[in-house]
Amino acid sequence: MNKPPSLRRRIIGYVFAVVFIVAGWWITAVLVNSPALPTPAATVGVLADNVPTLVPYFVTSAYRVIGGLVIGTVLAVPIAQVFARSRTLDALFAPVLYLLYPIPKVVLLPILLVLLGLADAPKIALIALTVFFQVLVAVRDAVKAVPESAVLSIRSLGGNRFDEYRHVAVPATMPAVFTSLRIGVGTAIAVLFIAEAMAGSTGLGYFIMQSWSMVNYPRMFAGIIALALLGLVLYALFDLIERRLTRWR
């Protein structure tokens, strides 16, 4: 089993990544030489000036993303566990999953806006719906991959169906849950941007598009950096929680 990288190596890795990205950004901005692509120095200055303005937008977007991720995951995990352990239910609902999963959920945004209004609800619902299917597929496949011998060992010790879930299915699928969540963070951020850009007057997506309409490109990139930072924080948070909950790995 590979050991996780040390804290020092992780810090060095992140420093290198930041330097690499900033250098690439700066070189590209110099080569393109367009107001639409400001240099990192120009953007960082504007970002620092707009921190008080960005904080409420950041908090609003974070609330929407976290709410959607939590709702989608809480609904998907038990459903996936039950379906995967029941041949009858899996045979009935697998075709439904195959038909609905490939549909881009963002196309449902106009319907959600009509039904739920322009506030937080449609944005959270859209993220929850997107994450739900990602987690459902990942956990369902992970449960199916659990060796039957592990389940039989619980039964041989007198365990019931609840014990099978508690001691075998749930621990075995925890890595799949967090993997799908880390992947889902990127999707959720993208969905959030579209939802906030299309409807509403709050959130980082709205801030970015408002800056674009003002032809204030440094301000726009400041919003993009804040949105990227939100995704990075959530990704690192899920990685930390996974390490705490799956120490047995």
Q: Is residue 20 part of a domain?
A: no
Residue 160 lies in a domain: yes
Q: Which comes out higher in pLDDT, residue 59 or 89?
A: 59
Residue 199 domain boundaries: 54-245
Strands (E) in 110-229, as ranges, are none
Per-residue model confidence as pLDDT tens digits over 3-30: 556 667 878 888 888 899 989 989 999 9
Residue 211 belongs to some domain of the structure: yes
Q: What is the CATH number of the domain that holds 181?
A: 1.10.3720.10
* Tally of CB atoms within 10 A around 135: 28
**What per-residue confidence (pLDDT) applies to 37?**
87
Farthest CA pair distance, the chain: 71
Q: Among candidates 108, 190, 180, which has minimal Cα distance to 137?
A: 180
Q: On the CB side of 205, how many CA atoms lie within 13 Å of its CA?
A: 20
Q: Which of 131, 223, 212 is nearest to 179 (CA)?
A: 131
Q: Is residue 208 part of a domain?
A: yes
The tally of domains found in the chain comes to 1
Round to whole Å and give the CA distance between 51 and 89.
51
CB-CB contact of 248 with 171 (8 Å): yes
* 99 belongs to a structural domain: yes
pLDDT of amino acid 239: 83
**pTM as predicted:** 0.83
- pLDDT computed for residue 13 by the predictor: 81
Structural domain includes residue 39 = no
**Of 200, 186, 192, nearest to 65 (Cα)?**
192
Sign of the four-CA dihedral 40, 41, 46, 50: positive
pLDDT digits (tens, 9 = 90+) for 202-248: 899 999 999 998 888 999 999 999 999 999 899 888 888 878 877 66
* Separation between Cα atoms, residue 102 and residue 94, nearest integer Å: 13
Each residue of 215-225: pLDDT tens digit? 889 999 999 99
Amino acid identity at 67: G
Q: Give yes or no for residue 1 having a pLDDT over 60.
A: no
Residue 26 in domain: no
Q: Is residue 2 part of a domain?
A: no
Gap between the Cα atoms of 96 and 93, Å rounded: 5
